[in-house]
A and B are shown apart, each in its own frame.
Chain A
Amino acid sequence: MSVGQRVTSDHQLARLLQIGVVLEEVVEARSTQHHREMDGDVDAEIEALLRHAAEESADHRDRLEALIGELDAESVSYEEIEALVEAQYGKTKPEDFDGVLYDQLCNEETAYKFYDDLIEAIEGSDSSFSIDRDRVLDTLRGIRAEEEEGVEEVTAIMERR
């Protein structure tokens, strides 16, 4: 067991980026499921939020996959994660619009925390990777900033309602 937050190898970095991809895919798949469940019974604001969340997650996934590819590792297919989300969705789905917003807030907060911890763990390590460390950090910081905006966006909607 290793105590302490550090990323020390290409392999470990690639694995953590894969986890990032999965988290993004979970957001995308759950947003799509929420949308489907509501079946037209959804207001424009929530609909726009869900659509934006799914698009943004797909974009984050692309950026993470570019890094994973350079580390000579494979990404995780969206179809696989979508199937797992669908299989477990019945047990975890929100019951109403407030639940959907809360789920979105959890998604954004979780992603923010993940990237924040990952950035800290990379910064806390003096290991070198086969890809440019600054580029990895720049990419992750960019994604983290968008997750932060996402948290603010959902919070603002929740406060208005």
Chain B
Amino acid sequence: MNTADQYLKAIYLVQETEDGPASTGAVADALDVSPASANEMIGKLEERGLAEHEKYKGVSLTDEGILRAREALSNYCIIERFLANVLEVEEFRAEARSLEAVIDDTVAERLDTIIDRSSECPDCFDAETDACKYLAEVESENPAD
């Protein structure tokens, strides 16, 4: 997943959580980057018509930005689900975060042919738990020893 898509996904999730525009600080925190880096990338997303930034309020995604963010989120769900269900990785959240930059959309699509994903995806992704709600449910039913 390229850097722009990682930003779109992060902005989308912050917007969902805050139910409004995402502050640059919150986006920077979500991506563990400096506010200056976040500002720079948000500027690029604005130039591409994917986001709109309003001073003192924050950044909001355009319809096109939302579409791409949702695709990126679906691919992220595939990576998490693949790690949790196929490779049985307990720390699937942390590993998905460390791998997402190296896993391209086409690779995620291929991995999707061996996992069982809800048709609701990515609406079932819960930003609070950083995982699909169904995946989090299974995890709480079968906690790691």
Contact = CB atoms under 8 A, between A and B. Distances in A.
Interface of A: 1-7, 12, 15-16, 18-19, 22-23, 26, 30, 76, 80-81, 84-85, 87-88, 92, 106-107, 109-110, 113-114, 117-118, 121
A117 B95 CA distance: 17
A26 B97 contact: no
B142 interface: no
Interface stretch (B18-26, B51-59, B100-108): B100-108
B97 A1 contact: yes
A114 B107 contact: yes
A23 B110 contact: yes
Interface residues of B, number: 31
B99 interface: yes
A3 B110 CA distance: 23
Contact of A121 (B3, B89, B102): B102
25 contacts: A1-B97, A2-B97, A2-B98, A3-B7, A3-B32, A3-B33, A3-B37, A4-B3, A6-B101, A7-B102, A15-B87, A16-B102, A19-B99, A19-B107, A22-B87, A23-B111, A30-B113, A80-B86, A88-B114, A110-B106, A110-B110, A113-B104, A117-B107, A121-B101, A121-B102
Given A85-B114, A88-B113, A110-B110, 7 more contacts: A16-B99, A19-B99, A26-B110, A30-B113, A80-B86, A84-B86, A114-B103
Contacts of B66: none
A1 B99 contact: no
A75 to B, nearest CB: 11
B87 A110 contact: no
Interface of B: 3, 6-7, 10, 30-33, 37, 82, 86-87, 89, 95, 97-104, 106-107, 109-111, 113-116
Contacts of B113: 26, 30, 85, 88, 92
B102 A1 contact: no
Contacts of B7: 3
A54 B9 CA distance: 36
B109 A3 contact: no
Contacts of B32: 1-3
